[in-house]
Amino acid sequence: MAIRNQRNPKTSKPVDYTLENQKITFDFLKSHLWSATDILRGSLDPGEYRQPVMTLLFLKRLNDTFEENAEKMIKEGKNKKEAYENRRRHYFFVPPTARWSVLSSCAENIGEKIDDVCRIIERENKDLEGVLTNTKYNDKRKYPDDKLRSLISHFNSPRLRNEDLMREDIFGDSYGYLLAEFADETKKNGGEFFTPREIVRLLVDLVEPKEGMKICDPTCGSGGMLIESRKYVERTGGNPRNLVLEGQESNYGTLAMCRMNMVLHHIIDFKIEYGDVLTNPKLIEGGHLIKYDKVLANFPFSMNWDNKQASNDPYNRYEFGIPPGQDKADFAFIQHMYSSLDEKGQVAVICSQGVLFRGKEESRIRENMIKADIIEGVIGLPPKLFYGTRVPACVLILNRSKPKERRNKIIFIHTAKDYQEGKTRNLLREQDIEKIVNAFKMYKDIEKFCHIADLEEIKENEFNLSVPRYVYISNVDDEIDIRETIDRLTKVEQERTELASRVRHDLKQLGYR
């Protein structure tokens, strides 16, 4: 297999990838994928060129794994016609009119041909409905033939069969890398479709999903929570195929990315629905919300929503109170997630820290949730962890069936000093994640890191859940010398008075009164 020389996506310097047995490595593949964006960079914004790069990558991967499976059947004794034309022999069937050779040989009207191929593949594979046709490429002002031709040429090689990869999961990992890079480039909007991987890992490790569970992300973005849940089950010795993975997404373009992401991570049994989960929840069974063992999410902070129909909500989601409509949908999302739990279910959700202390209707909702004893933990996260927002964030952990020893208690974890500074955003390190997860599992006081507060203490704080009220983290070395501070302030005040006196004197000499 011929491997082209690649360049480091950050420095543009050549990188020498030595490939064992000519297999594609993770470093090579992520460089190859990122360099594809150079073809469209400059002529399109990151939010616009993300889709064609991912669509063509997905088409190439489908084509190559289809051909790999067909050739395997021929080696096993099947005739060529059956191997290439029997739909039942392939999970994803690619007919002759939609194979990669059709695109690579196209000389003109390339956007129209891409649209045609996408329609054919969706028609032949109902599981891919809406994945490829959400963007139209037959617009030469936006997607000129020369750009699309160059992009197709870029993906002509190397082959992307499973047998060509160092290990099968590097393709999914590389796609995740590409999503992270797109989120970093788009900055402001990146957080709408991508939660940083280490934060996803934190939430999943906190709730510990297990084989046989039903897991949901009702604001799933590109699907990271569901994919990481599957990885966790596999990593801890469970059968990752024995999981129910479901979600909903309100952005149609992001929905397509999510479905692609799931398929490229070898997840073929999943359900991702399209729609606004507050006004039109789609994960419904028998007129009721489907119930899950674990719900994980990172919903859009402080969003407007129409709360006028909430009092007559057919799913009875707002038992703790109806949140205000203007900029305050947070507790609507949180209550939806809680309502989606089975009798022993658990939620881990990323929120703005405003939900911990804001007043009025939200204060009453928070108090009702505390009195109902459904809040198991509050984790105050370090600053600047997310793409596109500097709003201080936290993790809320809700539980319909708290262990006996945790009842009428909440653990508060203060992680303000446990992170690594980054240029564009800060990072949670492996040791930071482990420290948080271990503290939550132990559920004991740790000085300057976490505290177990009982209901009486929380009442004394007027049901305010702001983490610094419960965990004091100042160091002795940082304590203020009161006498020295008073002396310094006195000196500053004297200097200010003297300066003001001189200014008044000078103005008087100049004739001003």
Cβ 51 vs Cβ 186: under 8 Å: no
Cβ 245 vs Cβ 230: under 8 Å: yes
- Residue 20 has a pLDDT of 46
Distances in whole angstroms, Cα of residue 113 to Cα of each of 37, 101, 104, 307, 449: 20, 12, 10, 45, 58
Give which of 190, 180, 248, 187 is closest to 219, Cα–Cα: 248
Percent of the chain past pLDDT 70, that is, above it, reads: 85
CB atoms near residue 81 (< 10 Å): 8
The per-residue pLDDT for range 462-487, each reduced to its tens digit, is: 999 999 999 987 654 444 455 555 55
- Residue 3 has a pLDDT of 46
User: What element of type H or E holds 152?
Assistant: helix 145-156
Q: Which two tokens stand for residue 488?
A: 């310094």
- Is the peptide bond between 95 and the residue preceding it cis, with omega within 30 degrees of 0? no
- Residue 38 has a pLDDT of 86
Strand order in the sheet with 214-217: 271-274, 244-249, 214-217, 292-298, 341-352, 393-399, 375-380, 409-414, 450-454
Residue 31 CA to residue 256 CA, distance in Å, equals 23
The reported pTM is 0.82
Give which of 375, 357, 361, 356 is closest to 455, Cα–Cα: 375
The one-letter amino acid code at 392 reads P
User: What element of type H or E holds 394?
Assistant: strand 393-399
- Residue 490 has a pLDDT of 62
Residue 213 CA to residue 223 CA, distance in Å, equals 17
Give which of 12, 17, 112, 102 is closest to 59, Cα–Cα: 102
Cβ 90 vs Cβ 69: under 8 Å: yes
The CATH number of the domain covering residues in 6-167: 1.20.1260.30
Strands (E), 265-386: 271-274, 284-285, 288-289, 292-298, 341-352, 375-380
The CATH number of the domain covering residues in 188-469: 3.40.50.150
Enumerate the H helices of 236-299 as residue ranges. 252-264
CB burial of 212-246 (b: ≥16 within 10 Å; e: otherwise) equals: ebbbbbbbbbbbbbbbbbbbbbeeeebebeebbbb
Q: What are phi and psi of 143, to 5 degrees?
A: -125, 75
Helix (H, G, I), strand (E, B) or coil at 345: strand
Residue 276 CA to residue 457 CA, distance in Å, equals 38
DSSP β-bridge partners for residue 214: 244
- Residue 4 has a pLDDT of 47
Cβ 58 vs Cβ 235: under 8 Å: no
Helix and strand element counts for the chain (H, E) = 15, 13
- Residue 487 has a pLDDT of 58
119: which DSSP letter? H
Distances in whole angstroms, Cα of residue 241 to Cα of each of 27, 198, 203, 212, 440: 28, 23, 21, 9, 28
Tens-binned pLDDT, residue by residue, of the chain (513 aa): 444 445 444 444 444 444 445 788 988 888 888 888 888 887 777 667 778 888 998 999 999 999 999 999 999 999 999 899 988 889 899 999 999 999 999 999 999 999 999 999 999 998 888 889 888 999 888 899 999 999 999 999 999 999 998 887 787 787 777 777 776 665 544 444 578 889 999 999 999 999 999 999 999 988 999 999 999 999 999 999 999 999 999 988 888 888 888 888 888 889 999 999 999 999 999 999 999 999 999 998 888 888 888 999 999 999 999 998 877 899 999 999 999 999 999 999 999 999 999 999 999 999 999 999 999 999 999 988 886 667 889 999 999 999 999 999 999 999 988 989 888 788 899 999 999 999 999 999 999 999 999 999 999 999 999 999 999 876 544 444 555 555 566 666 666 666 666 666 665 655 555
**What separation, in Å, do the N-terminal and C-terminal C-alpha atoms of the chain show?**
89
- Residue 108 has a pLDDT of 93
DSSP β-bridge partners for residue 165: 24
